[in-house]
Amino acid sequence: MRKFILTLTVLGALSPFLTNAQSYPNQPIKLIIPFAAGGPSDALARGFTPKLSENLGQPIILENKPGAGANLAAEFVANSKADGYTLFLMMVGTQAINETLYKKLNYNVVKDFSPISLVASSSLMLVANPSVPVKSVAELIAFDKANPGKVSFGSSGAGTPLHLAGELFNTQAGTNILHVPYKGAAPALTDVLGGQIQTAIVGTPAALPYVKSGKLTGLGVTSLKRSSNAPEIPAISETLPKFEVELVYAIVAPANTPKAIVDKLNSQLVSVLNNPDIKSQLNSRGFDVVTSTPNQLGEYIKSEVAKWAPIVRKSGITAE
């Protein structure tokens, strides 16, 4: 009898969660985007959320919360109610880097979120001004070693994935290409076009028109394999094995979101992302669809924190 009463007590305690999960969603869902409207994250979200909203039967409201290197949005979601109505479009590399880059964070990227699924990836491209006498990654490495201190690369800012992609390149190639930080990828692209800097690491979609027009030399993409958006450009890994840096996006919820809600979101999200029309639309915007189970995403986030920690420490940069 005591066991029976205990079972009823446990079921009674769980019943609100079970009911909520079964009726989910019954109100609009907010998707928090950590960057300003009009950027790549915004374009990605607008590419798949209308169909996801249709499938879930509730509006999905996009809310941009830029600031503090994406930490403002991350902290907001981490502290939100774990009911499935506040989600986070996470750029995994950025949040993984921030774990080491910032001396103090009010959240932990591994512990304070419930992973739902990977969403998409987008490669970066290492480009050079045509005045630099190199046509490949191997030639750039040789040129830098023959001209120490004369080659620079621009990025979107200190501590960003674009900056640390360059630091990873230096580490693996044994080069010492000097970093020039900019306030965004656009001014870095402008200066490499103008010859103020020799090379830059920028998003593949942004670089591609200039490479195709001959205004820049595309040396390599940072994805492990050639990008479907630029198959004619070699992967840097063809010269530096295992070199890989991608802008990887995922959907997460606050920690302790009920498993039934996580599973429902995962199922619906994966279904939407694998829709041929959605895939084609996202591909035209420079994204490759990538999906996962919640557990796979959780392990990937852990691996990214471990990957970037030594690179951040070696770079010597910190942020408050």
Nearest alpha carbon to residue 163 among 88, 83, 69, 237: 69
The yes-or-no verdict on residue 7 having pLDDT over 60 is no
CA–CA separation, 76 and 282 (whole Å): 27
- E strand map for 193-271: 199-203, 217-221, 246-254
Mean pLDDT of 47-58: 97
Task: Tell me what pLDDT residue 67 has.
Answer: 84
Amino acid identity, position 62? L
Nearest alpha carbon to residue 116 among 89, 154, 78: 89
Show the domains of the chain with their CATH numbers: 27-122+247-315 (3.40.190.150), 123-238 (3.40.190.10)
Tokens 């958006």 appear where? 229
Task: Tell me what pLDDT residue 1 has.
Answer: 53
pLDDT, tens only, 258-308: 999 999 999 999 999 999 999 999 988 888 999 999 999 999 999 999 999
The yes-or-no verdict on residue 15 having pLDDT over 60 is no
pLDDT, tens only, 21-52: 678 999 999 999 998 787 788 889 999 999 99
Task: Tell me what pLDDT residue 4 has.
Answer: 46
The yes-or-no verdict on residue 227 having pLDDT over 90 is no
Asked whether 282 and 50 are in contact (CB, 8 A), the reply is no
pLDDT, tens only, 94-138: 999 999 999 899 999 999 999 999 999 999 999 999 999 999 999
User: What's the chain's Rg over C-alpha atoms?
Assistant: 22
Mean pLDDT of 144-163: 91
Q: What's the mean pLDDT when you consider all of the chain? A: 91
Q: Which of 55-69, 74-88, 156-170 has the highest mean pLDDT?
A: 74-88
CA distances from 280 to 49, 104, 156, 285, 307 (A): 15, 40, 28, 9, 31
Mean pLDDT of 59-80: 94
Given pLDDT bands bounded at 50, 70 and 90, which one contains residue 14?
Answer: low
Mean pLDDT of 311-320: 84
Query: What's the N-to-C CA distance of the chain in angstroms?
Result: 58
The yes-or-no verdict on residue 236 having pLDDT over 70 is yes
Given pLDDT bands bounded at 50, 70 and 90, which one contains residue 3?
Answer: low
The yes-or-no verdict on residue 10 having pLDDT over 80 is no
The yes-or-no verdict on residue 88 having pLDDT over 70 is yes
Task: Tell me what pLDDT residue 69 has.
Answer: 83
CA–CA separation, 177 and 199 (whole Å): 9
Nearest alpha carbon to residue 245 among 225, 217, 267, 270: 225
Task: Name the pTM for this structure.
Answer: 0.81
